Amino acid sequence: MSAIETIHVDGEWRAAASGAEREVLDPADATTLATVAESDASDVDAAVAAARRAFDSGPWPRTPVAERAALLRRVADLLQRDREEIALTESRDTGKTLEAGRVDVDDVTAAFRYFADLVMNESGGRVVDAGSPDVHSVVVHEPVGVCSLITPWNYPLLQASWKVAPALAAGNTFVLKPSEVTPLSTVHLVRLLVEAGLPAGVANLVTGAGDPVGARMSEHPDVDLVSFTGGLASGTKVSQAAAPTVKKVALELGGKNPNVVFADACATDEGFDTAVDQALNAAFIHSGQVCSAGARLIVEESVRERFVAELARRAERIKLGRGTEPGVECGPLVSRQQWEKTRAYVESALAEGASLRCGGGQPEPAAHRPATGFFFAPTVLDQCHREMRVVREETFGPILTVETFRTEDEAVALANDTEYGLAGAVWSSDAGRARRVAGRLRHGTVWINDYHPYLPQAEWGGFGKSGVGRELGPTGLAEYREAKHIYQNLDPRPVRWFAG
């Protein structure tokens, strides 16, 4: 299989400078899906140099806002034109279902359109009253410069859009690195940017491993901002690499997210059914490979047994298979490494006293589920407590742990007892209690009687070790800008501070 040209520098597609290549695997059967270029630090240097030239002397940072917004809208239209092709690529590359891939394309489209609308609706600057009619004082916002954008493997296209769209809307240039595990939809996105008319050098793409590619992108002295989405350990390294050059850093590092269910939410059959259904969605969408996955079920003790029994019954019936097969509800894990990591978490939980209610390993092969694929059965672990690794650490797999509480204060304490703080939910038929608990949760997004929806116009990010900064919303655009105060004296005169 010939390699796909996946490095894009200064308007040209090319192979890696070293000639190195990497195989991208189909997680459903472990066969080779594509062969792509494997960048090294020299490819990063070339991409950063192109982005630097495009920012310092190219047209994009000085392009009128209306033209930048129009380009973003053209990209959105092209995404919809290629919706089925991109969704199939995303499904085969990540293992998610084809329908989930379609949803991703629609969400990416919405992000591009949102940031186009946002920059078009802004004023020309914030006038500051200096207390004198002889002074004109205004705060304006300018692009930060050259941006290093590093994205994860679970939602490659979506996470790229959350960075690319606001970076372009603000007038920046960038170097983009997708995960080496799932780079293919990001390559398609860059091709659409070129087709939409983005000038050469504005969007540059390198494919390869975090070390050395991501590391060089983070430390590079000609980069003004690095935005990273991924795991805590890698995010810490990015921050450390960026520190000596004192560049702006934005980090979205995942979470260990609580889904708190009060007994009153289950008082009716309809309420019970909804809460159980949403607990399944919270934990097992995309096989739990979601930074905001509701992996910690914290349920009131009085309904615990009924709730967990029904949850496990339904989890066992989830149809696991190749994401492109009709009727499949959940795909494989993204890699053998992720499968082994998930299995290790289950084994540690059982050794620490958890009770296995369902799942726990690889399901039986089936026509829609090749034996060589990285499939892991949806797993429910009961009798869990905070000292367990599986409760403390982000597993990024189809594992749901169960903890119980008796009082509202205990529920809040459990939900907040994590070093992360990305997202969480509270389920209650008592509106006052629900809002009260939501207000006490130390998480960046809190859902009430729902789980997982997000809006491009609402900020996304977390407290604690879930990261630094926000994506989406007005703050997501502000991450890619610098504020500048321009103070103009309309009637300059000598100050006479010094007598001489």
CA distances for 202 relative to 68, 192, 261, 398, angstroms: 12, 13, 47, 38
Look-up of token digits 């009687």: 449
CB atoms within 10 A of CB 496: 6
Residues contacting 149, CB < 8 A, separation 6+: 160, 163, 164, 167, 174, 175, 176, 177, 226, 227
Task: Give me the DSSP letters along 10-40.
Answer: TTEEE--TT--EEEEE-TTT--EEEEEE---
Active site residues: 252, 291
Nearest in space to 382 (alpha carbons), one of 349, 423, 347, 429: 349
Nearest in space to 59 (alpha carbons), one of 244, 198, 213: 198
Nearest in space to 153 (alpha carbons), one of 282, 32, 334: 334
Tokens coding 491: 């009637």
Residues contacting 129, CB < 8 A, separation 6+: 137
CA distance 159 to 461: 12
Residue length of the chain: 500
Q: In this structure, are residues 404 and 301 in contact, taking their beta carbons and an 8 Å threshold?
A: yes
Nearest in space to 220 (alpha carbons), one of 240, 203, 245: 245
Nearest in space to 304 (alpha carbons), one of 380, 376, 377, 378: 380
